[in-house]
Structure 1
Amino acid sequence: MIDAVSWRIARGIKSAVPEHPLSVEVLKYAVSFVLNTGSIIVFSLAISFFTGRVAEVLTVLVAYALLRQVSGGLHLKSGTLCVVASTAGITAMSFADFGPAAVTVANLAALLLAAVYAPSRIEGQTRIPKKYYPLLRFVSIIIVSSNFLIQSPILAAAFLVQCVTLIRPLRRGGEHREEKGHV
């Protein structure tokens, strides 16, 4: 549904300004990004008003997005599926309430995943040259490590879930298998 709406909006923009240098495909990608992100934020916040977890949902939204920007991660094929899965996940993570030992275990797991896999699946998604990927890994590790000081169950859940999306299959010899297109 989001893809169809994005396509119609992009075609409308291109027909209104045919001399614009961007193609309909590029416009569609930009519109779908805005619609996906906006829908996830709006739906997650709307649900949080009913659950009474507004601050927690805001925490998850900011933490997850911040880590995702530097670490990358899995992309779903459907914009609608992305909105549904992300909204459900954000809502679920807002209820994370576990003790210090579980926070530490989640932090360690997220830290290990970030150290091994970050950045993941950002080729073609960013203009950042590959020579800076080690810096992105380092920043990812710093972001995840911050929760060893903060000790937030909600941050632990958000960081762990985001880091799980980094996992890519390994080939023999330990090299990451390159995947084509969105997953």
Structure 2
Amino acid sequence: MIEMMALRIATHIKHAVPDHPASTQVLKFVLAAILNTVFIITLTLTVSLFTGKLIEVVIIMVAFAFLRQMTGGLHLKSGMGCVVVSTLLFTGLSFVHLDYKWTMGATIASTLLILVFAPAGIENQTRIPPKYFPLLKVAALILVGFNLWFANPITAVSFLTQTLLLINIRR
């Protein structure tokens, strides 16, 4: 559904501006990513208004997104599948409550997963040259390491979930 919407919009843009340097396929790819993000944020925030977990969901989404940009991770093949899974995941995580020990444990586990697996699957997802991937790992370690100081359980659960998505089961 998202891919079809993106193609329709890209075709319309290319028809309206035929001299635009981007091809229809490039426009479709970019628009699909934007639509995917907008749908995830809108749907998740709407659901969180009904669950009363708006603050938790915002923290989870922001922490998840920042770490994901540095570490990569599993990607679903379908844009709609990504929207549904992400919305369910973020909503579900907002109900997880960790005490101090579990928060520290989740944060340490996230750090170890980053050390072993990050970055994962970002080769075709970023314009950052591979020679800078070690810096992304260091930045991710610093980001997660801050939670050893702040001990925020919501952030810990978000970071742990994101770092679990680094593990490539198909190896």
The equivalent residue for 1:115 is 115
How far has the Cα of 1:169 moved from its partner? Answer: 4.6
The equivalent residue for 1:132 is 132
Q: Supply the distance in 1 between the matched residues of 2:168 and 2:115 (Cα, whole angstroms).
A: 13
Q: What amino acid does structure 1 have at the position aligned with 2:71?
A: S
The equivalent residue for 1:62 is 62
Q: Supply the distance in 1 between the matched residues of 2:4 and 2:127 (Cα, whole angstroms).
A: 27
Q: Supply the distance in 2 between the matched residues of 1:169 and 1:93 (Cα, whole angstroms).
A: 22
Q: Supply the distance in 1 between the matched residues of 2:108 and 2:146 (Cα, whole angstroms).
A: 11
- Output one character per residue of 1:139-177: Cα deviation in whole Å (capped at 9) or x when no partner: 11111111111111111110011001111258xxxxxx5
Count of equivalent residues: 171
Query: Does the CA contact (< 8 Å) of 1:118 and 1:137 recur in 2?
Result: yes
- Output one character per residue of 1:92-124: Cα deviation in whole Å (capped at 9) or x when no partner: 111221211111111111111111111111111
* Stretch moving more, 61-70 or 96-105: 96-105
Runs (4+) off by over 4 Å:
none
The equivalent residue for 1:174 is none
- Output one character per residue of 1:64-116: Cα deviation in whole Å (capped at 9) or x when no partner: 11101111111110000000000011111112212111111111111111111
**Structure 2: runs of 5 or more not aligned:** none
Q: Supply the distance in 2 between the matched residues of 1:93 and 1:147 (Cα, whole angstroms).
A: 17
Query: Does the CA contact (< 8 Å) of 1:95 and 1:154 recur in 2?
Result: no
Q: Supply the distance in 2 between the matched residues of 1:75 and 1:25 (Cα, whole angstroms).
A: 20
Query: Does the CA contact (< 8 Å) of 1:119 and 1:137 recur in 2?
Result: yes
The equivalent residue for 1:47 is 47
Helix, strand or coil for the counterpart of 1:156? Answer: helix
> What is the TM-score normalised by the length of structure 1?
0.90
- Normalized per residue, the structure richer in helix is 2
- Output one character per residue of 1:117-144: Cα deviation in whole Å (capped at 9) or x when no partner: 1111111111111111100000111111
Q: What amino acid does structure 1 have at the position aligned with 2:163?
A: C
Q: Supply the distance in 2 between the matched residues of 1:168 and 1:61 (Cα, whole angstroms).
A: 22
Query: Does the CA contact (< 8 Å) of 1:73 and 1:122 recur in 2?
Result: yes
How many percent identity over aligned positions? 47
The equivalent residue for 2:10 is 10
> What is the TM-score normalised by the length of structure 2?
0.96
Q: Supply the distance in 2 between the matched residues of 1:60 and 1:128 (Cα, whole angstroms).
A: 25
Q: Supply the distance in 2 between the matched residues of 1:89 and 1:138 (Cα, whole angstroms).
A: 26
